[in-house]
Structures are given as C-alpha cells and as structure tokens.
Amino acid sequence: MSQRKGVGIALRSHWIAAIVGMLVLVICGVVASSLLSAPRPSGYLYTSSSTAIFVQMTLSGSNLEGTLTGAYLSSSDPGHVHAASISFTGTLNGSSVTLSLGSALLGTVSLSGTLSGSTLVLAVPGRNGSLADFTFEAATTGAYDLAVTALGSSAAKRYHEEQVAAAQAARAEQRQKANHAVEQAASTLRGDLSTLSSDADFSSEINSVASALATTKAALVQTQQEAQKVEALAQQHPNGDSGTVCGDATANVGGDATANVGGDATANVGGDATADVEPEIQTVQSDISTVNSGLESLQQAEAQDPGYYDPGAPTAAEVEQAISSAQQAIQTAVATTNSDISMVNGYVAAAYQAADQAIAAGNCGPGMGPPSLVSSISANAG
C-alpha cells in the first residue's frame, strides 16, 4: 500500500506523470481482457482517494491497443477534478504485458507488468527511479463514473475545507493585526506619558532662575554698600564735592545699579525665565496634546478589537491624572518664576533708589530715572 500511495502522489503532482500512470493502467486492462475466457468487463479500474483511472482496449492476436481515461485531484488545486486521456499500444505474451505510451510531451514510455485473472499489476517507475506495483481490477464504465463522482464530492469537500481554513486564517490575521495595533498604540502612549512626566519636571529651570536671583541680590547689596560710602563722604563735605563724591555716586553706585543689578535681572533672571522656563512650558503643553492624541488612537484601536485586552495599556484615568499633574507643574513653575521676577524687580528698584540717594547726597544732578523691569511670564507662553 505504501508503494501505491507513493505512486499516486507522483501521478497527482505532475500532469505528465498522471498521463503516464493512466496509460500504464490502460495497458494492464487490455492484457487482462485478452486473457479472460469469461465475458470481458468494460475495462479495468484503479482508484485511490485522489485518482480514478479507467482502461478500455481491444486485443488482436498478441497486440493491444486502447485508451486510458483518468480523473485526479491535484495537490495544487484540490478543489477541482482534473481529467486526462491518452491512447496506447502493447503486446501480451502469456501473463506478461508490455505497454507503449506516447505523446508529444512524454515521448515514448514503456511499461511492463503481469495479468492474472481479473487483476492487472503494472510496474510503474517513481520519481526516484524505483518501481512500484500498480494494481487494476476489472470493472464497468458505471464503476468508473461512480469513482469520478466520488472524486467530485471529495473535491467539493476539500474546496469547502480550504475556504473555511482561508477564512479562519484571514480572521486570525485580522485579529493579529488588530491586537498589534492595540499593543502599538499602548506602547506609544506609555512612551508619551513618560516623556510628559520627564518634561513636566521644572526643577532645573526654576533652580536656574533662583540662582540668577541670588546673584542679583548680591549685586544689590554691593550697590547699597557703595551708596552708603558716597553718602558718608558727602556728609564730610557738606559745602561741595570733594572731587570723588559725584564720581562715586554716578560711576560706582549708578553703574552698579544699572550694569550689575539691572543687568543681572534682565539677562539672567529674565533671560532664564524666557529662555528656559517658557520654552519648557511650551514643550509640556505639546506633550499634553500628544498624550491626548495617543489616548484617542488607543481607544480607536481597542474599539476595533473589543475582544482583546492589553494589560499594559494606560487607562483613561491614568492619562487624565498625568495631564492634571503636568498642568499643575506648569502653574507652579509660572507662579515660582513670577515670584522670583517680582523679587528681582524689587532688587532693581532698590538699587536705583540707592543710586538716586547717593547722587542727591552729593548734589550731583538728576537721579537715575525709572529702571527697566523684567516682565512676568504666562502659562500661555508662546
């Protein structure tokens, strides 16, 4: 049986092989017909789960001729029954049969076998060159028709099974893609939330402003000390400038108020507020928009795959909490920075006031005038 199955696979796998197999069967049928003394059957039939081959022939002396008709299922197209037919010639000597099959595709193929009673056995070469016995039994045309009908039923069943399998595979692929979409959206959202959390940490920017504020305060102290020296010197010379009072008042006190206190306030405190804090606020606000979009994408992916749950997917509540924390961080950063700006503006005003007092103490002309103050920032920066 294993040899027959191997031959059957070879016949189904290639059209030419199918024709050769069917021709072999035809020849065997002819030989059996010539030897039987009882009324001859219509022909000789070979059947398997995927093949039906029917041989019809005539005998003239020891010479055979006939037609092999076959139907088979192809592994490449199991949903349909394929048919083939070919003529053959041959000889019968005792129980030995020799068949010659010829076609434009095959050339001439010679097969040999034996005939015993109503059974014909033909040696058919397989793909590896070894021979396998192929057995045919006497049968009627109706038997062949029934075998072909059975192949049709098998083909229909296989076709249905293929369609079901294809549909299942398509659904599985669709589910896999939908699951991947959920996982991808969840992964992206987790990354966006991590970025938001990192960016919403304003400690570095706030510390930078606070450090600049401390530097400005130190400049204010120095300015006030210079003003006290000028005022003390002016008291020593109530009737006029000793030659250094006005110079010290305008160059030292006024210069420190303008360049050190005012300069530090504008360049450092104000600069850090606008160059560091405000851009970071814009970054966090952009992050919030990205997170909202990411949550929407995740929810859309989940809606397309309601039967799938990604345990690592952020929930709407977690997203809402992260956004709320980020917004609170923005408000805190704005409030803290504006408090420092208010303080540094106070330092500038105090430095200008000290310079004005020093100038007035020495009767050195008009005062400093109004200082240039640092503008506060807003949560709607940019």
Q: Where are the domains of the chain?
A: 2-139, 188-361
User: Rounded to 5 degrees, what angle do the CA atoms 241, 243, 244 make?
Assistant: 95
What confidence score (pLDDT) does residue 381 get? 57
User: Rounded to 5 degrees, what angle do the CA atoms 367, 373, 375 make?
Assistant: 165
Indicate the fold that domain 2-139 takes in CATH. Lipocalin (2.40.128)
Give the whole-number percent of the chain exceeding pLDDT 70. 86
- Rounded to the nearest 10 degrees, how much is the dihedral formed by the CA atoms of 37, 40, 43, 48? -70
User: Rounded to 5 degrees, what angle do the CA atoms 27, 29, 33 make?
Assistant: 120
- Which residues is 65 bridged to in the sheet? 58, 89
Q: How confident is the model at residue 352 (pLDDT cuts 50, 70, 90)?
A: very high
d(CA 55, CA 147): 13
Overall average pLDDT of the 186-213 stretch: 95
Indicate whether 8 pLDDT > 50: no
What confidence score (pLDDT) does residue 162 get? 85
Indicate whether 27 pLDDT > 80: no
Residue 129 in tokens: 């060159």
More confident residue, 364 or 173: 173
What confidence score (pLDDT) does residue 360 get? 87
Q: Comparing 34-38, 192-196, 282-286, 369-373, which segment has the lowest mean pLDDT?
A: 34-38
What confidence score (pLDDT) does residue 365 get? 81
Indicate whether 26 pLDDT > 60: no
Q: Which residue has the tokens 């507020």?
A: 273
Q: Comparing 28-42, 47-61, 197-211, 285-299, which segment has the lowest mean pLDDT?
A: 28-42
